[in-house]
Chain A
Amino acid sequence: MDMVLQAIEFVFQWQNMAALVGGSVYGIIIGVLPGLGPSAGMALMIPIVLKWNPATALIFMGSLYKCSNYGGSLTAILVNTPGDASNAATILDGYPMCEQGRGNVAMGISATSAMVGGTIGMVVLICMAPWLADFALKFGPAEYFLTAILALSIIAAVVQGATLKGLAAAGLGLLLSTVGFDVITGHLRYTFGWMIIEDGIPLIQGLVGLFAVTQALVLAESASSISRLSKLSGSFWEGVIIYFKHPMAIIRASLIGLVIGVLPAVGQSSAGLLAWAEAKRESKHPETFGQGDPEGLLASETSTNACMPGDLVCTIALGIPGSVGAAIFLGIMIIFGVIPGPLVFAEKADVVYSLFVSLVVTSFVIFIFGATVAKHFAVFTLIRNEIIVPCILVVSLLGSFAIRNMMPDIMISLAFGIVGYLMLKGGFTPIPLLLGLVLGEMVETNYHRALMISGGSYSIFFQSTISKVLIFLTILSFAGPYMGPFWKTLTQGEK
């Protein structure tokens, strides 16, 4: 506890606060700019921060890392363009809220999510990081496979209402996830000699197409603006109030985000998606999800924000990075002589705890930024379509190009845009496709690995306690929709 108090005192020294606020603003800008993710943002700053005090430099990088994610969700909400893969789920309800003219409310929810989700995640991280890291190590290929299956089972909830079309989209997503270099066998699959997709379908470029380009096409059909009524209703603070009215949803979403963050082999992009799908399943009005339901937005945003501290657990406690961003963060820590690992909490406690405290403070800085600056951003949704559509197209395609400096990536985005448009017209939702694309590789490679380790015996999937719990949860998840009515007749019969 002493450690934490000292760290608080340290973080509030003027130069550290300056680093924190500077990192936050820079991070938000990086997040808003297309094609510049947290990785590039941090890499660019390395030569500059080298001369700083280690703790100050890490505070700067930490707030940059955290805020770039917030910047990405701003564009996701306002113009349907995710800044990074982790913002994919933000789009689902965030952008439709803007269409209803409730952009201000969405801004409020997103900023509050960053504050609350981030703080919950950090507090858990500060209290239990070493324990969580040990827990994460218990996950082998078999456990990861089962986790992915459990995650896929959530598709059942997502496709409710249009089951067949939903499953078709999910299947397409799974198929697309097999494109590229097969990690296990070393073969190239479905690349047709095209080097660009040897690493698989590039996720952000695909997302830009599926959401931003598709939306631009849809907008081009009508003469109004993103906000269909061409006016704004609701306020930032209304969003804040709505947020705190859903304590259970907040806790669930935070937990999902944390768990996914802690497991190093689960992609961060799935945190928001799974929390969103879970919230839909728990909701009394699942049909409004994806139509601009504030509950959907708060679930995905809270989860994404809780995911980032979770991601730091294994990075700091074991030196095993869970994402590209975390890997860079790890590299920067090493340069400053803070060698991550179980010992770091004792040896470099001052640096580590001031980093943690600064990340909590950053969560509040984001909220303040939201309440003062971002709340005005909703006016973008009032710009007339003939002006905003070309802007969205140019900026999002530029981003798609900038990620790898490759022209063909723009073609990928355009192709996904057209597919997305056709899907929309045909009554398909892109969400199951996204889940399939994000989870497919995790299912496949871990299934392979587990069987390679066991020598082909399927018993490896039932061995550990974690596996058994995961299998139980998966069965529950599939049977859930049928259990409800069954349970009702059972209890009513007793009366």
Chain B
Amino acid sequence: MSSKAANKGIVFLMLALGFMFSLPLADRVAEGVGYPDKIIKFIVTAGAGGGEDMEARLLSPFLEKYLGQRIIIENQPGAGGRIAFEKFQKAEPNGYSLVTYTFPKSIIMEFMDKTNYKTMDYVPVYSWSRSSQLLVVHSESWKTFDEFLKAAKSKTLSGGLSGRGSTTHLAALLALDELGIKVNWVPYEGSAGSVAALAGKHLDFTICLATSAVSLINAGKLRPLLLFSERRDPYMPDVPIAKDLGINMEIIPTLRGVEAPPKTPAAIIKILESAFDKATKDPGFIEVAKKRQLILQPTSSREFGRIIANAYPRIGKYQQMLKE
């Protein structure tokens, strides 16, 4: 390197440094300069090993690759995730603590209990996957959704729920409202109980996440009749969605995504969003996701925010029914 070029380089570097230090600290954070320069905490609102946790753990090595920083996963279970959400409301908006959860569970909680947090206040970063909510019956009963609907209109059927206030509960209420049927809902703690009860013919049908029923569906013991989604599930391409059956059903998607604390600067969100996007589209992650049967649905910060805002009035409509 010639000395002239080196001099030029040093002058440029000095200028850059001088410029950086002349900015007040807060502005530097706001512009995301140097971010991320320390470990990022990824809060999971449930215990280690569940669906939310597993997705976070599978994604984080790829995120580390694109953020150039280590990510640690912190499990904060309790009260269905509310403890984590309440804590997160007060987290520092510096991009070093993020929360990942299953949308829209935090919003359902806002309508069921008094909460001190508001999902609307969080800053959406990204959402990478969606889960399929299914209506499943025993394979020895109804063959099609029409047969099921006819039966449900002639008598009250018993339907299994994976928990009050769960995303599944919401999907069930939406369906019920659209179809005009009366159901005798039997709540369980988690889908294992309701799926087992259906397989043992103790219930007429159940609504659950596809992942909890896939084993028994593959084995021909259970039959999925309807998928509550706007798009079909690539791992179960034969299961119809409402639109295919000519039913106009309002759908609130079940998404796995990540948010930042209220008032996180846009520049930081931008860095995070791009890293999440790259990680989600990394061939390595796509391969892992395929094995886990995750339905990848890259959703930008703006789009995720729009979905969250739209969900409020629609979930509010069911407030009374959620509590019943």
Contacts of A335 in B (CB 8 A): 54, 58, 288, 291-292
**What is the distance, in angstroms, from A444's C-beta to the closest C-beta of chain B?**
12
Contact flags (1/0) for A25-53 with B, using CB distance below 8 Å? 00000000000000110111011001000
Interface residues of B in 46-67 (CB under 8 A from A): 47-51, 53-54, 57-58, 60-61
Provide the bound-state CA to CA distance between A265 and B191, in Å: 11
Contacts of B49 in A (CB 8 A): 39-40, 42-43, 324-325, 327-328, 331
Interface residues of B in 75-127 (CB under 8 A from A): 75-80, 82-83, 86, 112-113
**What is the distance, in angstroms, from B180's C-beta to the closest C-beta of chain A?**
21
Contacts of B74 in A (CB 8 A): 405
B187, A137: Cβ atoms closer than 8 Å: no
A195, B193: Cβ atoms closer than 8 Å: no
Provide the bound-state CA to CA distance between A336 and B293, in Å: 11
Provide the bound-state CA to CA distance between A465 and B80, in Å: 37
A183, B165: Cβ atoms closer than 8 Å: no
A183, B164: Cβ atoms closer than 8 Å: yes
- Residue in B189, B192, B324 whose beta carbon sits within 8 Å of that of A327 in the complex: B192
Nearest neighbor of A50 in chain B, beta-carbon distance:
B288
- Residue in B79, B188, B291 whose beta carbon sits within 8 Å of that of A198 in the complex: B79
Provide the bound-state CA to CA distance between A195 and B86, in Å: 10
With most chain A CB atoms within 10 A of its CB, the pick from B74, B193, B215 is: B215
Knowing A186-B164, A195-B86, A453-B184, say if A139 contacts B200 (CB, 8 Å).
yes
A336, B78: Cβ atoms closer than 8 Å: no
Count of chain A to chain B residue pairs whose CB atoms are closer than 8 Å in the complex? 155
- Residue in B51, B113, B193, B221 whose beta carbon sits within 8 Å of that of A331 in the complex: B51
Contacts of A337 in B (CB 8 A): 291
| Count of interface residues, chain B, beta-carbon cutoff 8 Å | 57
Nearest neighbor of A142 in chain B, beta-carbon distance:
B202
Nearest neighbor of B74 in chain A, beta-carbon distance:
A405
Nearest neighbor of A36 in chain B, beta-carbon distance:
B48
Contacts of A321 in B (CB 8 A): 192
Q: Residue B163 at the A interface, CB < 8 A?
A: yes
Provide the bound-state CA to CA distance between A198 and B82, in Å: 10
Contacts of B47 in A (CB 8 A): 39-40, 324
Contacts of B196 in A (CB 8 A): 136-137, 264-265, 314, 318, 320
Pairs A–B under 8 Å by Cβ, sample size 16: A39-B47, A42-B48, A46-B58, A47-B60, A47-B61, A140-B200, A183-B187, A183-B189, A318-B199, A319-B215, A320-B216, A324-B49, A328-B49, A334-B291, A344-B215, A405-B76
Q: A195-B83, A328-B50 are in contact. List 15 more A-B contacts (CB 8 A).
A: A39-B49, A40-B75, A43-B54, A44-B48, A47-B58, A140-B202, A141-B202, A181-B79, A183-B188, A186-B323, A318-B199, A341-B214, A341-B216, A342-B221, A453-B203
Query: Which residues on A are within 8 Å of B, measured CB to CB?
Result: 39-40, 42-44, 46-47, 50, 136-141, 181, 183-184, 186, 188, 195-196, 198-199, 264-265, 314, 318-322, 324-325, 327-328, 331, 334-337, 339-344, 404-406, 445, 449, 452-453, 455
